[in-house]
């Protein structure tokens, strides 16, 4: 990465990392299998053909300098779930701001019992550890703020994009899912120990498995352009930090997040919906209550939705 597109000998690379030439060759082979484009061989030297769009700490750290995430970014090529990794690390004392990124997840998790399709190096699979000094009831607002953070990061990358927020925190474009967020926490009744906010963004996918074709989309499928995941991930971490800092330090933030969420969501008010896990709960949305839960006017009364998938009727 220090010598992009320059030919560099195996001996020189070996000296820099304290490895033999044959070890360098084995590492280069391993990088190639992971999708890094490297031309040449041991006798002629190696050349990084293009700077790969991998979510490496070396790429991201300089872009998120000054945030709680700088210096705490962990990158993996293949994991089960970054949320599981982050939860384990948080329980073992990982500091606030620890970020877990993977090129590929083999058991990406969604809300409920859903899976998150996590093909290699096409999406962003990111989990961050937060330790806010708030009661568990405030975590809903935090999760809404995470949705707003993704929204603004996507807009920063492409100002034509205006994804629709679906309660509690999906991002949709033309009714198809661009991003999903899974917030998990470890808490006492009155105190959060730690939170993991897991964010999956579909970035450069050109297709999805048939069962997802009608419900998922990616930035590339919408705009026709391949995007830098590094750039989007840096924008995401920066906007997440802005939202988080604002939430903890500004007494107005709570009300402001509710207002902005409603502004960016076409379904949170005045839409005939039902809740997938509880189809009996059917009615017209009436905005969010002061805690961030969805209000639905059923035939009988105003009901509060605490969880579940909202579907348009
Ligand atoms: C949903 O829409 O149901 C939430 C999807 C959350 C997916 C992300 S990808 C990174 C993190 N790791 C996981 O296993 N899940 C979240």
pLDDT in tens, 292-307: 999 999 999 999 999 9
166 lines ligand 1 (CB under 6 A): no
Report the pLDDT value the prediction gives residue 279, as an integer from 0 to 100.
Answer: 84
Report the pLDDT value the prediction gives residue 35, as an integer from 0 to 100.
Answer: 74
Residues 6+ apart with CB under 8 A from 8: 45, 46, 47
Which single residue is written with the structure tokens 């607002």?
Answer: 141
- For residue 27, name the pLDDT band (cuts at 50, 70, 90): very high
* Protein residue with least CA distance to atom 7, ligand 1: 200
Ligand 1 atom closest to 169 (CA): 2
Ligand 1 atom closest to 112 (CA): 3
What's the 198 CA to ligand 1 centre distance in angstroms?
5
Ligand 1 atom closest to 111 (CA): 3
**Average pLDDT, integer, range 99-111:** 97
The DSSP symbol for 137 reads: G
Report the pLDDT value the prediction gives residue 206, as an integer from 0 to 100.
Answer: 97
Residue 118 and residue 102 in contact, taking contact as beta carbons nearer than 8 Å: yes
Query: How far, in Å, are 77, 153, 162, 227 from residue 236 at the CA level?
Result: 20, 5, 15, 14
Report the pLDDT value the prediction gives residue 65, as an integer from 0 to 100.
Answer: 96
What's the 290 CA to ligand 1 centre distance in angstroms?
26
Backbone angles phi, psi at 46, to 5 degrees: -115, 155
Ligand 1 atom closest to 81 (CA): 14
198 lines ligand 1 (CB under 6 A): yes
Q: For residue 126, is pLDDT > 90?
A: yes
Report the pLDDT value the prediction gives residue 42, as an integer from 0 to 100.
Answer: 83
Of 116, 169, 229, the one to substitute when testing ligand 1's pocket (max ligand atoms within 8 A of C-beta) is 116
Report the pLDDT value the prediction gives residue 238, as an integer from 0 to 100.
Answer: 98
Closest CA to 254 of 265, 263, 246, 262: 246
* Protein residue with least CA distance to atom 10, ligand 1: 125
**Average pLDDT, integer, range 191-201:** 97
283 lines ligand 1 (CB under 6 A): no
Helix ranges (H only) for 158-225 are 219-223
Beta bridge partners of 118: none
How wide is the angle at C-alpha 124 spanned by C-alphas 79 and 153, nearest 5°?
A: 150
- In order, the DSSP letters of 21-90 are HHHHHHHHHHHHHTT--EEEETTTEEEESS------HHHHGGGGTTSTTTT-EEEEEEES-HHHHHHHHH
What are 163-174's pLDDT values in tens digits? 999 999 899 999
Question: Of 44-58, 63-77, 177-191, which gets the smallest average pLDDT?
Answer: 44-58
**Average pLDDT, integer, range 263-269:** 97
181 lines ligand 1 (CB under 6 A): yes
pTM equals: 0.90
Report the pLDDT value the prediction gives residue 79, as an integer from 0 to 100.
Answer: 97
108 lines ligand 1 (CB under 6 A): yes
Distance CA 41, CA 112 (A): 48
Report the pLDDT value the prediction gives residue 278, as an integer from 0 to 100.
Answer: 87
- Supply the mean pLDDT for the chain: 95
Report the pLDDT value the prediction gives residue 237, as an integer from 0 to 100.
Answer: 98
- For residue 248, name the pLDDT band (cuts at 50, 70, 90): very high
Which single residue is written with the structure tokens 């970035």?
Answer: 203
Report the pLDDT value the prediction gives residue 180, as an integer from 0 to 100.
Answer: 97
The distance in angstroms from the start CA to the end CA of the chain is 51
Distance CA 301, CA 246 (A): 35
What are 73-85's pLDDT values in tens digits? 999 999 999 999 9
* Protein residue with least CA distance to atom 9, ligand 1: 200
What are 217-234's pLDDT values in tens digits? 999 999 999 999 999 999
- For residue 198, name the pLDDT band (cuts at 50, 70, 90): very high
- For residue 32, name the pLDDT band (cuts at 50, 70, 90): confident
């Amino acid at each position: 990465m220090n010598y992009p597109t320059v030919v560099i000998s195996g001996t020189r690379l070996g000296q820099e990392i304290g490895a033999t030439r044959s070890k360098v060759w084995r590492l280069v082979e391993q990088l190639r299998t992971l999708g890094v484009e490297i031309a040449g061989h041991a006798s002629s030297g190696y050349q990084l053909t293009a700077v790969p769009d991998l979510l490496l700490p070396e790429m991201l750290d300089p872009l998120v300098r000054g945030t709680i995430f700088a210096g705490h970014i962990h990158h993996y090529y293949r994991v089960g779930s970054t949320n599981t990794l982050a939860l384990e690390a948080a329980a073992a004392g990982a500091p606030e701001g620890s970020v877990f990124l993977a090129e590929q997840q083999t058991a990406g998790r969604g809300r409920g019992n859903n899976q998150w399709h996590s093909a290699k190096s096409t999406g962003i699979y990111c989990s961050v550890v937060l330790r806010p000094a708030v009661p568990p009831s405030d975590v809903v607002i935090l999760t809404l703020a995470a949705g707003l953070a993704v929204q603004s990061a996507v807009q920063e990358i492409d100002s034509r994009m205006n994804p629709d927020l679906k309660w509690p925190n999906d991002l949709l474009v033309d009714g198809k899912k661009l991003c999903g967020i899974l917030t998990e926490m470890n808490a006492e009744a009155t105190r959060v120990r730690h939170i993991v906010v897991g964010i999956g963004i579909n970035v450069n996918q050109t297709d999805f498995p048939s069962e997802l074709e009608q419900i998922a989309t990616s930035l590339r499928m919408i705009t026709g352009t391949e995007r830098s995941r590094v750039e989007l991930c840096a924008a995401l971490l920066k906007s997440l930090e802005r939202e988080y800092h604002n939430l903890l330090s500004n007494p107005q933030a709570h009300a402001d997040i509710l207002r902005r969420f409603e502004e960016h969501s076409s379904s949170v008010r005045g839409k005939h919906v039902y809740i997938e896990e509880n189809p009996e709960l059917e009615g017209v949305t009436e905005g969010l209550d002061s805690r961030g839960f969805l209000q639905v006017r059923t035939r009988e009364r105003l009901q509060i939705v605490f969880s579940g998938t909202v579907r348009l009727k």
